[in-house]
């Protein structure tokens, strides 16, 4: 299995966990069953699609710094070009 596939599955699992936590805390006790069902189906679709969305380069650098120096440097952000995350990570 490719490590990119495993990273995608981890991202989908994380998204589903966040959506499920929000549902459990905010929506589970409501009696609007149709709205709850729509939220759950939308959350399932969103959790599959959100990891495929390209992040701006600045967010990618914040989440996955490329050097040890960048990992310790939180101040003085510059706004670089907004390359898709897949291109930044070398997936494409």
Residue 70 is encoded by which pair of tokens? 């960048």
Give the number of residues written for the chain.
92
Higher pLDDT, 11 or 57: 11
Which residue is it, tokens 């495929």?
52
Higher pLDDT, 25 or 89: 25
**Tell me, what's the pLDDT at 49?**
92
Nearest C-alpha neighbor of 48 from the set 11, 17, 81: 11
Question: Which 8-state DSSP code applies to residue 29?
Answer: T
Range list of H helices, the chain: 3-22, 33-49, 57-63, 68-72, 85-88
Ranges of each domain in the chain: 1-53, 54-92
pTM for this structure? 0.59
> pLDDT tens digits, residue range 43-85?
999 999 998 887 677 667 776 666 655 545 555 555 555 555 5
> pLDDT tens digits, residue range 17-31?
999 999 999 998 988
Kindly list the distances between the CA atom of residue 11 and the CA atoms of 17, 39, 73, 82, in Å, as whole numbers in the listed order. 10, 19, 25, 21
DSSP three-state, residue 56: coil
């Amino acid at each position: 299995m490719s490590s990119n596939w495993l990273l995608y599955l981890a991202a989908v699992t994380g998204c589903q966990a966040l959506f499920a936590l929000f549902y459990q805390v905010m929506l589970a006790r409501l009696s609007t069953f149709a709205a709850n069902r729509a939220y759950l189906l939308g959350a399932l679709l969103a959790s599959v699609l959100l990891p495929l969305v390209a992040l701006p380069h600045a967010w990618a650098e914040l989440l996955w710094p490329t050097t040890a120096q960048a990992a310790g440097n939180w101040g003085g952000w510059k706004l670089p070009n907004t390359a898709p995350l897949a291109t930044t990570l070398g997936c494409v």
